[in-house]
Amino acid sequence: MSGTQRALAGWGLFIVGLFTLVLGIWFNHYANFPSVETVTIATDDATGLRAGDSVTYDRQARTVAATPAINPDLPQTPVDLEVRVDYFGWVPRDCMISGSDWCLPWFALGHLVAFGGSQLMLLGIALAVLLGRKMTWSLAALAAFLAMMELVILLGTVASEWLNLAQGPLNWTEQNDAFTIWAPLVLGNNVGISWGAIKDFISANYNMGALTFIILFARWIQSFSGPMPKARTAEAVSPYGRPLVKGAE
């Protein structure tokens, strides 16, 4: 691949990755909105509030004021209000898959798309700017910055978002048992493995696996330039700068 082809391919990957990253962030933003939000309203009977009624929602206080005005001295009654989102209300929200006490949210898909875009961007920059060029101090600094960004994404962002997902919507906590170990294997005792233990197992193995992959990948990159040149043996030099020859008078 020539330098021009490499630059076109690299910057093409960067542009595609940038578009994918923006798409993932946009999808994640709108998928995070709930479809229904429970608030309180000052009324004796909340059944009188229908679709199309004019309400003013105070998000901080989580209360609504309806029109016509309702006596604020009346008791607060919970009511479910539909959350409407401007032009992008068609973006799916809430859960892709759900159970009795867990939910795999749609915004997790936005996280995956944004992660893929970030990888394409870093790969594109490395291909367009670094690959096939003689290393200089400025290029080495850029390569170090890209490596640091990749480490932050793999060992920081991904690991953190996994814990947020597992401990939040998935409800993988120590209080929820995933399965029970067969009683004869544990001397007839009732021993179970919680979803929290599985969450920690996945997290620990991901971090160790990612670190191992990074080390092996770094060693593989070092092989691109071939074996290191052998050290030359130093020649004995006279005080006058000429090489010394054995047997010389």
In which region does residue 94 sit, left (phi positive, over 0), alpha (psi from -120 to 50) or beta (all else)?
Answer: left
Cα→Cα distances 57→34, 65, 156, 228, 232, Å: 15, 7, 37, 69, 79
- Which are the contacts of 236, defined by CB distance < 8 A and separation ≥ 6? 243, 244
**240 assigned to some structural domain:** no
151-203 per-position pLDDT tens digit: 999 999 999 999 999 999 999 988 888 888 888 887 888 888 899 999 999 99
Do 48 and 158 fall within a single domain?
no
**123 assigned to some structural domain:** yes
Do 21 and 56 fall within a single domain?
no
CA gap 23, 2 in Å, rounded: 31
Strand partners, 78: 40
23-59 per-position pLDDT tens digit: 999 999 999 888 776 666 555 445 555 545 555 555 5
Do 214 and 98 fall within a single domain?
yes
- Higher model confidence: residue 227 or residue 28? 28
Do 108 and 56 fall within a single domain?
no
**DSSP per residue, 221-244:** HHGGG-SPPPPPPPPPB-TTSPBP
Q: Which domain holds residue 61?
A: 36-82
Tell me how many degrees the CA angle 22-26-28 measures, rounded to the nearest 5: 115
- Higher model confidence: residue 183 or residue 67? 183
**200 assigned to some structural domain:** yes
**Straight-line distance from the first to the last Cα atom of the chain, in angstroms, rounded to the nearest whole number:** 58
Do 131 and 200 fall within a single domain?
yes
**42 assigned to some structural domain:** yes
**169 assigned to some structural domain:** yes
Residue 138 has pLDDT above 60, yes or no: yes
Do 149 and 165 fall within a single domain?
yes
**246 assigned to some structural domain:** no
Do 24 and 124 fall within a single domain?
yes
Residue 87 has pLDDT above 60, yes or no: yes
Domain total of the chain: 2
Does the predicted TM-score (pTM) go above 0.75? no
Task: For residues 81-103, give the mean pLDDT.
Answer: 83
Do 60 and 105 fall within a single domain?
no
- Which are the contacts of 24, defined by CB distance < 8 A and separation ≥ 6? 110, 111, 112, 113, 114, 115, 116, 117
Helix 195-222 crosses helix 158-167 at what angle (to 10 degrees)? 170
Do 152 and 196 fall within a single domain?
yes
- Which are the contacts of 151, defined by CB distance < 8 A and separation ≥ 6? 214
3-state secondary structure of 192: strand
Do 151 and 216 fall within a single domain?
yes
Strand partners, 36: 82
Do 45 and 138 fall within a single domain?
no
Do 145 and 27 fall within a single domain?
yes
**249 assigned to some structural domain:** no
**193 assigned to some structural domain:** yes
pLDDT for residue 249: 53
114-135 per-position pLDDT tens digit: 999 999 999 999 999 988 888 8
